[in-house]
Chains A and B, each alone.
Chain A
Amino acid sequence: MELIIFYILVAGILISSVLTVTSRRILRAAVYLLFMLLGSAGLFFMLNFYFLAAVQLTVYAGGIIVLIIFSVMLTSQVNEKLEAAGIKKSLFSLIAVAAGTVVCISAILNYNFPAVSSAENDSSMRTIGLQLLSYKENGYALPFEVISILLLASMVGAIIIAKRDVSK
């Protein structure tokens, strides 16, 4: 049962990511991207990373997709079709991508990974919160604070960049 759900999720991820990059209607591409993100949130749920899956759902599916759809609606006609990429361009990109895929997959299959550990992990909210704010060994207090400053800076930057030019 678990395996069937897993394969359905993987197939959904692959199909909707292919459709994201090939769909000629931009709004549909955004919705396919949403399905891809939902699928990977499902994968995180199956691997018992509940907090990460919830963050993926709220930040990606709730925030980023809405932002992208808003920008689509502000900048282009929803019904208009994108022009397809030229045959030469898509052929060369396909060759480059296929070469990269083959190299990466053969590297993965030939590498001897250390034995799979079967220890249970403790990914409860309490552990995550304590480790995220601890400044001792294995603590992530500094990156956490740096991320918060980055969020503030990007918020201010986004407002200033998108603001209408008053001087004209």
Chain B
Amino acid sequence: MIEGIQLEFFLILGTLVFFIGIYGFLTRKNLITMLMSAELILNAVNINFVAFNKYLYPENLEGQFFALFIIAIAATEVAVAVSIIISLYRRIKSIDVEKVNEMKY
């Protein structure tokens, strides 16, 4: 842990980044930028896990493993989302969420 920095500082940082991500998710219309906001949210959760691990239970590594699994799941999520975005763009020539109302056959 870092001298002079409380656990609450990390948690507030995580909260701020999380809600910045939520703001982006609510206001953006482009699918790729919404995906970036989702990445922000996941990363905020990672910061929280790591801070808890380091400050409260430093003898275990649970927070680190959860952060690792979150990173792996974020990678798979981005891969599938990008392929969906590309096939959507081929079909309707746009990636605006408001124009994607004809996804069904």
Q: Which residues of A contact B (CB under 8 A)?
A: 2-3, 6, 10, 13-14, 17-18, 20-22, 26, 29-30, 33, 36-37, 40, 43-44, 46-49, 51-52, 55-56, 59-60, 63-64, 67-68, 70-72, 74-76, 82-83, 85, 89-90, 93-94, 96-97, 100-101, 104-105, 108-109, 113-114, 116-123, 127-128, 131-132, 138, 140, 143, 147, 150-151, 154-155, 157-159, 161-162, 164
Chain B interface residue bracket vs A: 35 or more
Whether the Cβ atoms of A108 and B59 lie closer than 8 Å is: no
Q: Which residues of B contact A (CB under 8 A)?
A: 1-5, 7-8, 11-13, 15-24, 26-30, 32-33, 35-37, 39-40, 43, 46-47, 50-51, 53-62, 64-65, 67-69, 71-80, 82-87, 89-90, 95
Q: A3-B5, A74-B89 are in contact. Are A116 and B36 (CB under 8 A)?
A: no
Q: Nearest CB to that of B9 among chain A residues? A: A10
CB-CB under 8 A from A74, the residues of chain B are 86, 89
Given contacts A52-B67, A118-B1, 15 further A-B contacts (CB under 8 A): A17-B21, A26-B33, A36-B17, A56-B71, A64-B39, A68-B82, A75-B95, A82-B28, A82-B33, A113-B56, A117-B55, A128-B61, A138-B62, A162-B82, A162-B83
CB-CB under 8 A from B56, the residues of chain A are 113-114, 116-117
Q: A17-B20, A43-B47, A158-B82 are in contact. Are A29 and B36 (CB under 8 A)?
A: yes
Whether the Cβ atoms of A21 and B20 lie closer than 8 Å is: yes
Whether the Cβ atoms of B89 and A14 lie closer than 8 Å is: no
